[in-house]
Amino acid sequence: MTEQAGPGENGSSREDGILLECRNISLSFGAVVAISSVSFDICKGEIRAIIGPNGAGKTSMLNCINGFYHPDDGEIVYRGKVRRQMRPYEAAASGIARTFQNVALFRGMSTLDNIMTGRNLKMRTGFLSALLYYGWAEREEIEHRRIAEQIIDFLEIEAIRKEPVGRLPYGLQKRVELGRALAAEPELLLLDEPMAGMNLEEKEDMCRFILDVNDEFGTTIALIEHDMGVVMDISDRVVVLDHGAKIADGTPDEVKGDQNVVDAYLGVAH
Amino acid sequence: MVFVQPFLDMMDPPEFFFEVVIGGIMSGVMYSLVALGFVLIFKASGVFNFAQGVFALFAALTLVGVMTGTLPVFLTPLGFQVPTWLAIIVTCLVMIGLAVVVERVMLRPLVNQDPIIGFMATIGLAFVLEGAGDILWGSSVKALDVGIPQGSFEWLGMQIQIFDLWAAVIAGILVVGLAVFFQKTAVGRALRAVADDHQAAQSVGIPLKSIWVIVWSVAGLVALVAGIMWGSKSGVQFSLSLIALKALPVLILGGFTSVPGAIVGGLIIGVGEKVAEVYWGPLVNGAIENWLAYVLALVFLLFRPQGLFGEKIIERV
């Protein structure tokens, strides 16, 4: 185990207990090694950042956690149990929601429908029962709509409720995507570069939302982000990857001072 | 001449004109039935299913085969008749089974590929299925009678085919049912989500597999209905798979993503063809029926590529 000095002092919003632990995860595509034997954990209620230069294997790591990729080696322990190989929808069903680096919304659908899709797993009425008695489906729909409206309210996107998302500016699309992930009421929320391509104001809004989600709903968040200012401000702990390997792990302050990290970002004089 | 005379003919006598229009509406309904199957799959997987016409053919072949108690491949009669309702249920099950096989063999390896790849795969599927139909049930023309009343009656001086009325009623029920299913139920929303983005759909917990099986099953059942209607009208024969070509202009007119569009598009083409054939045909030596649909489609492609009811094509750069 490459468990380092540990998480240091307890972060403000951290509770005890590990929610998810990656043990010696390795993943390669043909001869390209994306991740080599990386271990880290995510504690309940914390904001965990994963950073590193381009191609460090950050997104691959998230893809392993939510089941898009299956690690060649190593295991993922979630809620105290070793997880078997899992499909993305099974990961979603176990409380892992995510957003994507390159916004992946349902472009033809409205903001509201996108967020309602996030409630998919919570819906009980199936195809047949909806056919047999439409009333069930309708009653359920109203209940879920209420929750969707709360999320819309929370993210301050009331005005674009009925707008097809393909027409929205990028910053708002990212916000809708966050809404869709929140609609699943996840235990663990994975955010892949939630602030990429945003202007300062949008970034500040997004930071506020992330902190609020963490605070109000107690959602555990793992995020990938390139904006170091943001990362150091909002995260409780940071893990740094470079060329598929973990080079540092700890509080923002610890990581900032780490020689390996400085080298990875600035290059080493040869 | 070409511009005036036909309109004068229409007024003389008007009953005949309305009869032509009604005839057109009815054949339009038949086009719509086929087009519906295309729209379903396109909406839910972003793939244009070239095999939809063959689906209808295959369903009709299976239905006839089961009804007449024929042993597949050897084509020997087993010496009993299967009641129509039972045969329809069996055929439904066959179409659902087909959907499962299509998902397993064709779609699953193509997750996250471009829609064009899926389209090419459906071309292959069309050939495989047509061959399978030939091997299983033989290539002779078969009569199909599921008990839809035939004959005609006169109404306000017009001859109306009872069969056509049935076709219209059935198409109407299908459309309303499908529209509600797609727009109002959670499953419908999940289907549209899958069409938009496979990865994102998976990440919110939609299992691609079962969604695809549902879509292709529904498309198979719609194909069965289309196969029954066409088969009852003109016999079950392999040219049935060519009606898929007529569905293309219908889709271009109505919009690939719209269920009501498939209906309206079908009606416009059906009526347009019949009226043009009857009134303009003699002036240009006939055969307008064969090309009018495609010319209409071309005009639409030029001026309104998303069709009458399709989703606007939005592109952010």
Interchain CB distance below 8 Å, A104 and B199: yes
Q: What pLDDT is recorded for position B81? A: 82
ipTM over 0.90: no
User: Cβ of B189 under 8 Å from any chain A Cβ?
Assistant: yes
Whether chain B has a CB inside 8 Å of the CB on A147: the answer is no
**Which residue among B190, B204, B314 places its CB closest to the CB of A92?**
B204
- Given strand A188-192, what is the order of strands in its sheet? A96-98, A188-192, A220-224, A47-51, A237-242, A245-250
B145 CB near a chain A CB, below 8 Å? no
A268: left (phi over 0), alpha (psi -120 to 50) or beta: beta
| B221/A contact by beta carbon, under 8 A | no
Whether B197 sits inside 8 A of A121 (CB atoms) is no
pLDDT digits (tens, 9 = 90+) for B128-186: 999 999 999 888 888 888 878 778 887 777 777 888 888 888 888 887 888 777 777 77
Q: Which residue has the higher pLDDT, B149 or A195?
A: A195
**Residue A44 pLDDT grade (very low, low, confident, very high; cuts 50, 70, 90):** very high
Q: State which amino acid sits at residue A98.
A: R
Per CATH, the homologous superfamily of domain A1-95+186-270 is P-loop containing nucleotide triphosphate hydrolases (3.40.50.300)
Q: In whole angstroms, give the CA distance from residue A242 to residue A265.
A: 9
Task: Give the whole-angstrom CA distance, residue B303 versus residue A247.
Answer: 58
Over the stretch A126-161, which tens digit does the pLDDT of each residue have?
A: 555 655 666 776 777 888 889 999 999 999 999 998
pLDDT in the model for residue A6:
39
Q: Given CB atoms, is B186 within the 8 Å cutoff of chain A? A: yes
Mean pLDDT of A165-184: 91
**Domain ranges, ordered by start, for chain A:** 1-95+186-270, 108-183
Lowest mean pLDDT across A17-21, A218-222, B6-10, B290-294: B6-10
Judge: B193–A166 Cβ closer than 8 Å, yes or no. Answer: no
Would you call A92 and B203 a contact, using CB atoms and an 8 Å cutoff?
A: yes
Instruction: List the single residue in B with minimal CA-CA distance to A124.
Output: B186
The average pLDDT across A198-211 equals: 91
Spatial separation of the C-alpha atoms in residues B182 and B40, rounded to whole Å: 9
Q: Which residues of chain B have pLDDT under 70?
A: 1-2, 311-317
User: Least CB-CB distance to B185: which of A97, A104, A137?
Assistant: A137
CA distance B76 to chain A (A): 38
**Which domains are assigned to chain B?**
5-138+163-303 (1.10.3470)
CA atoms of A9 and A16, how far apart (whole Å): 12
